[in-house]
């Protein structure tokens, strides 16, 4: 009888404890708003699979000037890849979810014994395919806040997917987003590693070393890769900026973004990207969208400023005269787009990157983690980030759907880069690059898309008249999402 009373008291205590825990859990969950699976098993059962099958063919014909001593001076390189990605994300379980995405690109054409004939940009090193677990993360959401930790995709002005070929860049770190403030989104992130895609192979850097006297090493910092990139491998931020042979370690990149949409048709963005001991980058952007009668209009302005911070490791790496260089670059631009309901549209853009003689890359915009010029990106030349350079784009487009019902978009764009002698890539030379791009995008179904692209680039490089490089490029791309 006594034992029975003792057991009853213990059970009552356990019951009271369970009730207390249930009340605490209910209180916590009451502060949050999310749909939750009832069990871990259900969270995995209700998870979502998504992916994309993709094929990418590229063909580029080079025309080298006599001063380069190329034999032959005209040749074509190409590459065909098949691949895509497959991702899975669980349903939320008390605010938590996990996800992963597998990426692959595989060479589907014959590899030439002549390396000049192989286009490596859809692939990994030495024109080989590669596969990787590009995303693997755990997320937690509560109220209007989300936290994601692990390998993931981010999209900021100076760290972005840059999916110009087969696969995107992905990053390793933590990202927090919050929208508690009215009409305001805040994003805070800290990134320690980046996995660079095959597009970086367009600017091969010997031994992945930052040599300020090497033209390709300088160009890699202007074109979005950095000299220490490793295609398909997660690499530290310091190695990407400073080269694989550097012996420095930094804390990576911390960034903050505030976006405000409280004014009708207006979007205001402010970004601060702090690359520890290398540089700080401020980007301010304002956009306005409106409909005037039957004309849809969009206008935008941006301003970027880069300055060295902390130990100024990049400025030290560019010390070739006994004096560390400053990171001191700025850039601004404007764009205007208008389209009619009948399907016709225009697209006008301007970007200026002033010279900063004697600073790192003479004031060229340093960009090693993806991201590209916010307004002007042509298929062949990405010269808008060169120092002492003004760039324009004039575009017209026509969407066939309003008239024919066929979801086909056609675009013609003209680019002109007026490159001064303090450009950071080939400082001392000045030239003008011109390019015409054609683009056709056919949305066959909601899941299936075909794209044909062509670009004709004249004087991508001109070193005094005899050392000139021009090329024509063609691409065929197919996407199927599921």
Binned at pLDDT 50, 70 and 90, residue 34 comes out as: low
Determine the pLDDT at residue 442: 98
User: What does residue 129 show for φ and ψ, rounded to 5 degrees?
Assistant: -70, 170
Task: Tell me the whole-structure pTM to 2 decimals.
Answer: 0.90
C-alpha span between 32 and 35 (Å, rounded): 10
Determine the pLDDT at residue 1: 44
pLDDT at 444 over 90: yes
Least confident piece of the model among 33-47, 52-66, 213-227, 346-360: 33-47
How many CA atoms are closer than 13 Å to the CA of 471, on its beta-carbon side? 20
pLDDT at 50 over 80: yes
More confident residue, 9 or 418: 418
ω into residue 72 within 30 of 0, thus cis?
Answer: yes
Mean pLDDT of 18-34: 44
C-alpha span between 139 and 73 (Å, rounded): 53
pLDDT at 30 over 90: no
Whether residue 306 contacts residue 328, with contact meaning beta carbons closer than 8 Å, is answered with: yes
C-alpha span between 389 and 404 (Å, rounded): 42
Mean pLDDT of the chain: 93
Binned at pLDDT 50, 70 and 90, residue 52 comes out as: very high
Residue burial 414-438, b: 16+ Cβ < 10 Å; e: rest: ebbbbbbebbbbbbeebbebbbbbe
Structure tokens that stand for 227 in this block: 């000299």
Binned at pLDDT 50, 70 and 90, residue 145 comes out as: very high
Binned at pLDDT 50, 70 and 90, residue 370 comes out as: very high
CA dihedral 434, 68, 472, 115 (to 10 degrees): -140
How many percent of the chain have pLDDT more than 90? 87
Tokens 């034999």, residue located: 71
- In 343-382, which ranges are continuous DSSP H helix? none
Listed in sequence order, the residues at least 6 apart from 292 whose beta carbon sits closer than 8 Å to its beta carbon are none
Mean pLDDT of 8-21: 43
Tell me the per-residue pLDDT of 339-369, one tens digit each, with 9 for 90 and over.
Answer: 999 999 999 999 999 999 999 999 999 999 9
Mean pLDDT of 461-478: 96
User: What does residue 456 show for φ and ψ, rounded to 5 degrees?
Assistant: -130, 105
How many percent of the chain have pLDDT more than 70? 93
Determine the pLDDT at residue 107: 96
pLDDT at 191 over 70: yes
- Architecture of the 41-52+81-385 domain: Beta Barrel (2.40)
C-alpha span between 118 and 202 (Å, rounded): 11
> Whose CA is closest to 331, among 357, 360, 305?
305
Binned at pLDDT 50, 70 and 90, residue 19 comes out as: very low
Neighbour tally for 4: CB within 10 Å: 8
Tell me the per-residue pLDDT of 211-242, one tens digit each, with 9 for 90 and over.
Answer: 999 999 999 999 999 999 999 999 999 999 99
Least confident piece of the model among 24-28, 74-78, 329-333: 24-28
Determine the pLDDT at residue 67: 87
Q: How far apart are the first and last CA of the chain?
A: 66
Tell me the per-residue pLDDT of 152-161, one tens digit each, with 9 for 90 and over.
Answer: 999 999 999 9
């Amino acid at each position: 009888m006594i034992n029975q009373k003792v057991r009853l008291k213990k059970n009552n205590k356990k019951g009271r404890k369970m009730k207390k825990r249930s009340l605490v859990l209910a209180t916590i969950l009451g502060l949050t708003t999310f749909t939750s699976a009832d069990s871990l098993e259900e969270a995995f059962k209700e998870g979502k699979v998504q992916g994309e099958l993709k094929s990418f063919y590229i063909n580029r014909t080079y025309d080298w000037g006599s001063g380069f001593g190329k034999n032959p001076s005209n040749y074509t390189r190409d590459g065909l890849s098949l691949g895509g990605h497959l991702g899975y994300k669980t349903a939320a379980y008390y605010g938590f979810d996990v996800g992963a995405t597998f990426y692959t690109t595989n060479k589907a054409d014959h590899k030439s014994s002549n390396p000049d004939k192989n286009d490596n940009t859809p692939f990994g090193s030495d024109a080989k395919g590669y596969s990787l677990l590009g995303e693997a993360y755990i997320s937690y959401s509560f109220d209007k806040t989300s936290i994601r930790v692990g390998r993931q995709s981010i999209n900021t002005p100076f760290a972005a997917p840059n999916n110009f070929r087969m696969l995107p860049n992905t990053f390793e770190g933590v990202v927090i987003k919050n929208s508690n403030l009215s009409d305001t989104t805040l994003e805070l992130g800290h990134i320690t590693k980046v996995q660079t895609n095959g597009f970086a192979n367009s600017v091969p850097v010997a031994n992945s070393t930052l040599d300020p006297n090497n033209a390709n090493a300088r160009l890699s910092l202007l074109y979005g890769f950095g000299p220490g990139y490793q295609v398909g491998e997660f690499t530290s931020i310091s190695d990407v900026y400073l080269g694989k042979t550097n012996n420095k370690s930094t804390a990576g990149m911390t960034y903050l973004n505030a976006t405000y949409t409280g004014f009708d048709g207006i979007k205001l963005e402010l970004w601060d990207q702090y690359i520890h001991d290398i540089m700080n980058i401020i980007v301010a952007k304002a956009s306005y969208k409106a409909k005037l009668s039957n004309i849809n209009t969009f206008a935008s302005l941006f301003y970027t400023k880069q300055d060295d911070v902390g130990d100024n490791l990049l400025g030290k790496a560019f010390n070739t005269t006994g004096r560390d260089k400053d990171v001191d670059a700025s850039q601004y631009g404007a764009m205007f787009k208008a389209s009619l309901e009948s399907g016709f549209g225009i697209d006008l853009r301007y970007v200026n990157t002033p010279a900063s003689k004697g600073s790192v890359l003479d004031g060229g915009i340093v960009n090693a983690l993806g991201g590209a010029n916010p307004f002007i990106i042509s298929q062949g030349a990405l010269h808008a980030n060169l120092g002492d350079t003004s760039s324009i784009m004039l575009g017209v487009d026509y969407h066939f759907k309003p008239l024919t019902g066929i979801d086909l978009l056609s675009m013609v764009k003209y680019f002109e880069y007026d490159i001064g002698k303090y450009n950071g890539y080939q400082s001392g030379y000045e030239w003008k690059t011109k390019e015409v791009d054609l683009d056709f995008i056919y949305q066959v179904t909601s899941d299936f898309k075909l794209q044909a692209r062509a670009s004709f680039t004249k004087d991508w490089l001109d070193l005094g008249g005899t050392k000139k490089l021009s090329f024509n490029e063609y691409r065929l791309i197919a996407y199927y999402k599921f």
